[in-house]
Amino acid sequence: GPPRHEFRRMITYQTPVLAEWVDYNGHLRDAFYLLIFSYATDAFMARIGVDPQRDQHSLFTLECHLNYLHEVKLGTEVQVRTRVLAHDRKRVQVYHTLHLQGADEVLAASEQMLLHVDLKGPKSAVFGEASLAVLDEAFEAQRHEPAAEYAGRRLDEQCQGQQESRGLSR
């Protein structure tokens, strides 16, 4: 059948910004944006049927890129939406965006490359057929959505051609 609607806007995590995540100014610290995305990855992993405690497989983060677009204050209710940008038989490239609940503005974005791992090695492992089917379904449901604006970036792209720089204009 057609891709299920739930994958077009896949909400993987919702939380208020907790007191232990903010700096002395009451703003979410950079690392805790990633913690929120990390909990979203846990939920995504469950959604594709990978369960470390049941079957000794997990997703390891190989690499991740974050863009911080807006400050987020203590107590704010936020949610993470997740897209499958790509996958092969062992890896999945996801794109998480952070939002105020129900709002489209992107507060932060994170592109991540995740590797399916057999914890008994640990060694990389091919996804099970059920997981591959869910990954395909999510990919198909989302591929006609607007481009993932902060994916595929090099960190220093914004710096090219700046004046008065030391080493920034390579």
What size, in residues, is the chain? 170
The SS3 call for residue 46 is helix
Residues 115-134 that bind a second copy (CB under 8 A): 119, 122
Span between the terminal Cα atoms of the chain, in Å: 49
**Number of other residues whose CB lies within 10 A of the CB of residue 13:** 20
Nearer to a second copy, 103 or 159 (CB): 159
- Could you say whether residue 147 binds a second copy (CB under 8 A)? no
58: Cβ contacts below 8 Å, ≥ 6 apart: 45, 50, 52, 116, 117, 119
The HSE-up count of residue 47 (CA atoms within 13 Å, CB side) is 20
- In the bound complex, what is the minimum distance in angstroms from residue 7's beta carbon to a second copy? 14
Nearer to a second copy, 77 or 136 (CB): 136
- Could you say whether residue 15 binds a second copy (CB under 8 A)? no
Nearer to a second copy, 5 or 166 (CB): 166
Residues that bind a second copy (CB under 8 A): 24-25, 29-32, 34-35, 37-38, 41, 52-53, 60-68, 71, 85-89, 91, 93, 111-113, 119, 122, 135-136, 139, 143, 151-156, 158-159, 162-168
